[in-house]
Amino acid sequence: MNARTWGFLALLAMTAVLLGCSSGSSKKAAEDATSSNDVTTSTDTAAQDVTTHPDGLTTDVTTNLDAQDQTSMGSDVKILFLHHSTGGVIWGGGVEQWFTDYNSNQGTSYQIVEQAFPKDSPYGWNNYPFDYWNIWVNHAGPVAFTEEPTLEMLTAKQDVIVWKHCFPVSGIDADNGAPDVTSEQKTVENYKAQYAGLKTKMREFPATRFVVWTGAALTQASNSEESATRARTFFQWVKSEWDEPGDNIFVWDFYELETQGGLYLPDNFAASPDDSHPNDTLAQLAAPLFAQRVVDVIEGRGDTGKITGEP
């Protein structure tokens, strides 16, 4: 084979190598372009995937809340506990001291304060679904309603807001088939309408987390079986349907702790058979579980921890 033939073969080999490299580079460029297009498409799809729900919220809002819920709120958190007399008994079971001890052991600064809401005057000593809806939804805004702070006011100062109802909430009348969000009558259908409005309102403040107690129960001597059954039905609905994972609203199941799976506040947990306030025995049991539930919510375990606060 002469020199010219060898030179021709060498030229062919070099050309083949160059073509292979060019093909590989083109493939890599195509892959990069596809990857870039995938990212753009994914982002565009997420931005456009907005579904309107019956409560007026959209899917993208819920998604953002879901991402936030999985994170801790940090070590410096302000907590407000809104309550009446039942909540006051549980508070007296050692809630404040529990947080003091927890902060000391964990190096956190969770600051919890309690407040009667609404006050006896001028609004009135009523903290039922209608009343929260009336103050926070019906009279929403930056100005207090009958001296009671709205959520616009409370969320500006608090990171976590806990609210509850006192035991008369469990004295529930039969539905009449015409739910009325503006009605003070205690029926399951009215409660559901008021809770729907409250959920939508609370979701307007995604930086604030809310802990809602299931309602306090009445003793057997203070309630009928029919009314007590309606109460259990409503609180079960709150847990299984109204409370949804991925948002900024969480439940503490006080009702289940009180009733131990029954319909009434047992006499051994009550101030007396005719007084549905919890006694010290229940307060000592419930206080640390309540405090733990709040901490679970603060530290990102709101959707994974037990809603009773139990380990």
- Give me the percent of the chain exceeding a pLDDT of 90: 77
Q: Read off the pLDDT of residues 4-54 as tens digits, 9 standing for 90 and up.
A: 344 434 434 443 433 343 333 333 333 333 333 333 333 333 333 333 333
Q: How confident is the model at residue 268 (pLDDT cuts 50, 70, 90)?
A: very high
Q: Read off the pLDDT of residues 93-136 as tens digits, 9 standing for 90 and up.
A: 999 999 999 999 999 999 999 999 999 999 999 999 999 999 99
Query: Quick check: 223 pLDDT over 60?
Result: yes
Q: Read off the pLDDT of residues 160-180 as tens digits, 9 standing for 90 and up.
A: 999 999 999 999 999 999 999
User: The tokens of 75 are what?
Assistant: 């070590």
Query: What residue has token string 């009773």?
Result: 308
Q: Which helix (H) or strand (E) holds 126?
A: none
**Candidate from 12-21, 63-72, 82-91, 194-203 with smallest mean pLDDT:** 12-21
CB 271 within 8 A of CB 278: yes
Q: Read off the pLDDT of residues 227-262 as tens digits, 9 standing for 90 and up.
A: 999 999 999 999 999 999 999 999 999 999 999 999
CB 81 within 8 A of CB 113: yes
Q: Read off the pLDDT of residues 189-200 as tens digits, 9 standing for 90 and up.
A: 999 999 999 999
Residue 144: per-residue pLDDT? 98
Residue 4: per-residue pLDDT? 39
Burial class (CB in 10 A: 0-12, 13-18, 19+), 275: middle
Residue 122, preceding peptide bond in cis (omega within 30° of 0): yes
Instruction: State how far the Cα of 194 lies from the Cα of 171, in Å rounded to an integer.
Output: 16
Residue 38: per-residue pLDDT? 34
- Residue ranges and CATH numbers for the domains of the chain are 78-298 (3.40.50.1110)
Total Cβ atoms within 10 A of residue 255 = 25
Residue 70: per-residue pLDDT? 67
Instruction: State how far the Cα of 251 lies from the Cα of 144, in Å rounded to an integer.
Output: 26
Give the global pTM. Answer: 0.79
> In this predicted model, which residue has the larger pLDDT, 63 or 236?
236
Instruction: State how far the Cα of 221 lies from the Cα of 72, in Å rounded to an integer.
Output: 44
